[in-house]
């Protein structure tokens, strides 16, 4: 905690007095911190940075960490948006994912959170072996009935060398089914559209005016500062990241040295990142943000996806259809420019 506060001071010139419109606690599990610790960080940021009065302050929380006392403490600290890792409202899914909370905590503590916060987002996971379409629908309907204004929904991915990966390879657990994941993603888009949610980014759905302002700034390529071990920062054509080792991070910060690496992005890398990120959003890839030569090349390369019904071209922008969103990463990669 002392190192985080010290780094905030060491980095105070990174944003060059630019207005700070969003503050985000997470990943990791910031809900393990005391409310006093969260408040101390917020007060330090307010004293060192140009934070706007309407700033969005999000804190990630696990359902099992949520209590009446903590909710009141977070609100008192200035938090005005919660991101809660529900994942599922079904016990068997949570056990399979090895989550720390149970189904009762998922529902009860989310309900408790809605009594303290209006601005809440929850994470839900689809594509797990035991998740039928009917159970997936019940997960979504539960969120809608509870009035949750923002949902982030992710297909389960099995990372190499994880316990789950080992169980699958040993045939002690069912593997994920890509066809089932695609079907549940298409159903998700239909259900939330019918319920009045805006599908503004591949994995994100929001009621009107309830988009994540913080994540949206990433997708627009805006400057940001990350604090803590492994934290990433971005400015114009530069990206930097702190070392991951906690002890080495703390020792370096105590000496007044920020332990980071840095890379300079080429114009081609910046363009490819824009292609990748923009195609994930409802606004799409705007050709006016590229050079005329690049725009011509993109039009040629994208035509096959338009012909296949995977992409639309409207208002000078390429926008993926629902079917195209199933293949977003592959389509984006095929449009990338090779380094010159």
Q: pTM here? A: 0.94
CATH label of the domain that carries residue 86: 3.20.20.70
- Taking the C-alpha atoms of residue 247 and residue 334, their distance in angstroms, rounded to an integer, is 41
Per residue in 169-204, pLDDT tens? 887 777 778 899 999 999 999 999 999 999 999 999
User: Looking at the structure, do residues 163 and 296 belong to the same domain, yes or no?
Assistant: no
- Assigned domain for 224 exists: no
pLDDT tens per residue, range 79-112? 999 999 999 999 999 988 888 999 999 999 999 9
Picking from 177, 201, 217, the residue at the C-terminal end of a domain is 217
- Number of C-beta neighbours around residue 294 at 10 A: 16
Q: How far apart are CA 252 and CA 246, in angstroms?
A: 10
Q: Would residue 222 count as lying in a domain?
A: no
Q: pLDDT tens, 226-244?
A: 999 999 999 989 999 999 9
201 Cβ contact partners less than 8 Å away, ≥ 6 residues apart: 215, 216, 219, 280, 281, 282
Q: Are 201 and 219 within 8 A, CB to CB?
A: yes
The range of the structural domain enclosing residue 213 comes to 19-217
Judgement on whether residues 210 and 279 belong to the same structural domain of the protein: no
Quick check: is 116 in a domain? yes
Question: Number of structural domains, the chain?
Answer: 2
**Pair 197, 301 in one domain:** no
pLDDT confidence band for 165 (50 / 70 / 90): confident
Last residue of a domain, one of 158, 188, 217: 217
Going edge to edge, which strands form the sheet with 238-242?
232-235, 238-242, 260-264
Tell me: do 202 and 295 sit in the same domain: no
CA-to-CA separations, 43 to 36, 57, 75, 156, 164, in angstroms, rounded: 10, 12, 13, 37, 40
Of 217, 246, 275, the domain-final residue:
217
Tokens encoding 55: 């700033």
Report how far apart, in Å, the C-alpha atoms of 20 and of each of 47, 50, 99, 119, 227 are.
12, 6, 34, 19, 14
């Amino acid at each position: 905690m002392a190192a985080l506060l010290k780094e905030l001071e060491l980095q105070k010139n990174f944003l060059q007095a630019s207005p700070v419109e969003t503050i985000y606690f997470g990943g990791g599990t910031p809900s393990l911190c005391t409310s006093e610790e969260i408040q101390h960080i917020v007060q330090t940021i307010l004293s060192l940075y140009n934070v706007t009065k309407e700033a969005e302050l999000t804190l990630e929380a696990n359902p099992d960490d949520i209590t009446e006392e903590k909710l009141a403490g977070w609100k008192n600290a200035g938090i005005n948006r919660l991101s809660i890792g529900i994942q599922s409202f079904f016990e068997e899914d949570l056990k399979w994912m090895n989550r720390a909370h149970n189904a009762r905590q998922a529902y009860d503590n989310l309900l408790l959170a809605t009594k303290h916060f209006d601005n809440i987002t929850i994470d839900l996971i689809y594509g797990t072996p035991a998740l039928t379409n009917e159970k997936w629908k019940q997960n979504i309907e539960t969120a809608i009935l509870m009035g949750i204004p923002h949902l982030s929904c992710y297909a389960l991915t099995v990372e190499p060398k994880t316990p789950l990966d080992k169980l699958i390879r040993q045939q002690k657990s069912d593997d994920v089914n890509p066809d089932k994941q695609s079907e549940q993603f298409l159903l998700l888009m239909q259900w939330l559209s019918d319920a009045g949610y805006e599908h503004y980014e591949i994995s994100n759905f929001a009621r009107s005016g309830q988009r994540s302002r913080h994540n949206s700034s990433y997708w627009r390529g805006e400057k940001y500062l990350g604090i803590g071990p492994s934290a990433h920062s971005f400015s114009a054509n530069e990206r930097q990241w702190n070392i991951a080792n906690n002890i080495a991070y703390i020792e370096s910060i105590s000496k007044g040295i920020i332990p980071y690496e840095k890379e300079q992005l080429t114009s081609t890398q910046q363009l490819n990142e824009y292609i990748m990120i923009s195609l994930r959003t409802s606004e799409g890839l705007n050709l006016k943000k590229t050079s005329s030569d690049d725009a011509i090349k993109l039009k040629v390369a994208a035509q096959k996806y338009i012909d296949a019904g995977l992409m639309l071209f409207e208002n000078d922008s390429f926008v993926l259809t629902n079917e195209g969103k199933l293949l977003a990463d592959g389509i984006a990669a095929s449009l990338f420019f090779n380094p010159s």
